[in-house]
């Protein structure tokens, strides 16, 4: 029984360590990463994480970003500008008409999105988090393809559930 528990713990470690509280990554191998996210095909709807509220009406992302509140729970929709190319452990969501976006991470890194998600439409439920990243975190995220402000200030959306759709 103890061996089984240790084996399960060892297998879950790469996913559990994908990012820590400071936003730093410890990406698994490319083989593990590709197993963590699948490709999003045209016309397909992909659900990740907790189900989105059935009766909830999504608020435009631009409206939420006009007056963000730390800890605010939201259901927003937008277009994925880019996603982490290592394993899909974050994505940038922007309003359909362009403008400022938000970096979306996934609660407890319990799920990921396909690395080819850029251009897909998304509905996201989660909590806004306003923070300032360290210079090291900024450099790390930029190396993964993220656009981060020079001063490291960002509005992050910690998603509990995501619905992706590619037209």
In sequence order, the β-bridge partners of residue 124 are: 76, 162
Residue 126: helix, strand or coil by DSSP?
strand
Asked if pLDDT for residue 4 goes beyond 70, the answer is no
Of residues 100 and 110, the one with the higher pLDDT is 110
pLDDT band at 102 (very low <50, low <70, confident <90, very high): very high
2-165 fold: OB fold (Dihydrolipoamide Acetyltransferase, E2P) (2.40.50)
The upper half-sphere exposure of residue 127, i.e. CA atoms within 13 Å in the direction of its Cβ, equals 7
Classify each residue of 58-93 as buried b or exposed e, where b means 16 or more C-beta atoms within 10 Å of its C-beta: beebbebbeeeeeeeebbbbbbbbbbbebbbbbbbb
Tokens representing residue 36 in the block: 């963590």
pLDDT at 38: 62
Residue in 160, 139, 163 with CA at minimum distance from that of residue 150: 139
pLDDT at 23: 53
CA distance 105 to 159: 6
pLDDT at 150: 76
CA distance 39 to 83: 12
In sequence order, the β-bridge partners of residue 106 are: 159
CA distance 113 to 82: 11
- The mean pLDDT value of the chain amounts to 80
Task: Judge whether 87 and 18 are in contact, CB under 8 Å.
Answer: yes
pLDDT band at 76 (very low <50, low <70, confident <90, very high): very high
Residue 46: helix, strand or coil by DSSP?
strand
């Amino acid at each position: 029984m103890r061996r089984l528990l240790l084996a399960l713990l060892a297998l879950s470690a790469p996913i559990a360590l994908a990012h820590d509280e400071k936003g730093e990554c410890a990406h698994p191998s490319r083989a593990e990463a590709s197993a963590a996210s699948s490709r999003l095909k045209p016309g397909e709807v992909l659900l990740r994480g907790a189900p989105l509220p059935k009766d909830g009406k999504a608020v435009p992302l631009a409206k939420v970003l006009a007056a963000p509140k730390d800890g605010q729970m939201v259901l927003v929709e937008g277009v994925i500008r880019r996603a982490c190319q290592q394993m899909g452990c974050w994505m940038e969501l922007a309003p359909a008409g362009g403008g400022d976006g938000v970096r979306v991470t996934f609660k407890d890194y319990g799920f990921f999105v396909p690395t080819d998600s850029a251009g897909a439409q998304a509905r996201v439920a989660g909590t806004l988090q306003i923070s300032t990243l360290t210079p090291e975190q900024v450099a790390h995220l930029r190396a993964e393809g993220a656009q981060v402000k020079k001063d490291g200030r960002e509005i992050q959306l910690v998603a509990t559930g995501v619905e992706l759709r590619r037209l």
